[in-house]
Homo-oligomer: A and B are copies of this chain.
């Protein structure tokens, strides 16, 4: 589990379920960070950054039509840049400080503008230079809202995306991050979320679902051929996501040790299993083993193993991956069609569904009997843990679902959410950004 930062909460912290390898050290402020750990976290930060750009940019961008490629890329990069700045202005402070009256839900303003942080500052347990920890967390904050844009891609207006993302980061992401990692509600409950399955993936998946329902279907959806303009790009992006996810998951150990090694091997095998599962299911049920299916399955596996990466054993991760691959395939290829909504890039079908599977299953695969690590403190009882996990999922479902709904409505008051049908036909690249992606 992510040994997040509890400066003033040593007692609370010790109640939280920890990764077995992670000695919490009761805030020995004096300790100097180990440079091996620091090197790994610097690198992990860079890897998570790579997930955003080019990672998710290409994975998503390859699936839209050429005329909307730049629109997707611009939205992702702008959102990431804005959140980057907001993170040091107030995000880090609100997510990772102790908080006041509402400390179950939100931190406080004591580190606005990173006041008081210097190169010599460390995390509470002295494990890492604080700047490094801030950077690592920042990449998670930057990534999450970019995931959402996939659901309403090819039709939502750029100003609306920008405004929504700022609000959503502030009122949805930060509180959830605080609840899970900042010593808030879900941490108190003992919910396990090693690398952010709830904070990042369920969160983004639900917001995406709400968004695409509100914005409506693309013109021609279900009638015209709306084929991905470059599955090559999607593969590149997907591979880069996997690559960067090693930093996301194994980096969440916050140490360069055997625990990081466990998270890494799980990030290998769950992903491989899920990719193969989707491919095989598709081969059997639809007649063709597709590359898009293979990559989609791999991403579903990555999503599902995220909360479990440091808790499950490798065999448990394989089972989790197989499950996520098959369920997400069925969801995206059948259930979604039955409902008939247009989630352009299956943000909900992969991040939402995969995230929920992972969050709940983490309560199972952590079982020592199944090769998992067990809990750091307290005795493991499967039913109890699964219930805690489920409750945590429900809280974030509600918070994000309701929050996103309100914020979309709010944004819609200030600026139209959706491009005109003429702009949509011409493509958002020309209509909104005045550029074309390709001139061969």
A residues near B (Cβ < 8 Å) are: 20-21, 33-40, 42-43, 45-47, 49-50, 53-54, 57-58, 61, 65-66, 69-70, 73-74, 77-78, 80-82, 84-85, 88, 113-114, 118-122, 129-132, 134-135, 138, 158, 227-233, 235-236, 239-240, 242-243, 246-247, 250, 255-262, 264-265, 268-269, 271-273, 275-276, 279, 286-292, 294-295, 298, 314-315, 318, 373, 432-440
List the 8 closest pairs (A to B, CB-CB), nearest first: A35-B36, A131-B261, A288-B434, A129-B258, A119-B258, A53-B239, A81-B272, A39-B40
Minimum C-beta distance from A409 to chain B (A): 24
| This chain: copies in complex | 3
Closest to A61 in B: B232
Minimum C-beta distance from A56 to chain B (A): 11
- Given A243-B50, A258-B129, also A73-B235 (CB < 8 A): yes
Indicate if the CB atoms of A54 and B236 lie closer than 8 Å.
yes
Contact of A119 among B20, B232, B233 (CB under 8 A): B20
The distance in angstroms between the C-alpha atoms of A57 and B260, with both chains bound, is: 27
Contact of A35 among B43, B58, B256 (CB under 8 A): B256
Contacts of A232 in B (CB 8 A): 58, 61, 69-70, 73, 230, 233, 437-438
The distance in angstroms between the C-alpha atoms of A73 and B235, with both chains bound, is: 8
Give the most central of A36, A73, A119: most B CB within 10 Å: A119
Minimum C-beta distance from A154 to chain B (A): 14
Closest to A266 in B: B131
Minimum C-beta distance from A255 to chain B (A): 7
- Given A50-B243, A373-B119, A435-B290, also A132-B261 (CB < 8 A): yes
Minimum C-beta distance from A74 to chain B (A): 4
The distance in angstroms between the C-alpha atoms of A320 and B138, with both chains bound, is: 20
Contacts of A256 in B (CB 8 A): 35-36, 38-39, 42
The distance in angstroms between the C-alpha atoms of A187 and B261, with both chains bound, is: 27
The distance in angstroms between the C-alpha atoms of A53 and B155, with both chains bound, is: 31
Contacts of A53 in B (CB 8 A): 235, 239, 242-243
Closest to A232 in B: B437
Minimum C-beta distance from A114 to chain B (A): 6
Indicate if the CB atoms of A33 and B315 lie closer than 8 Å.
no
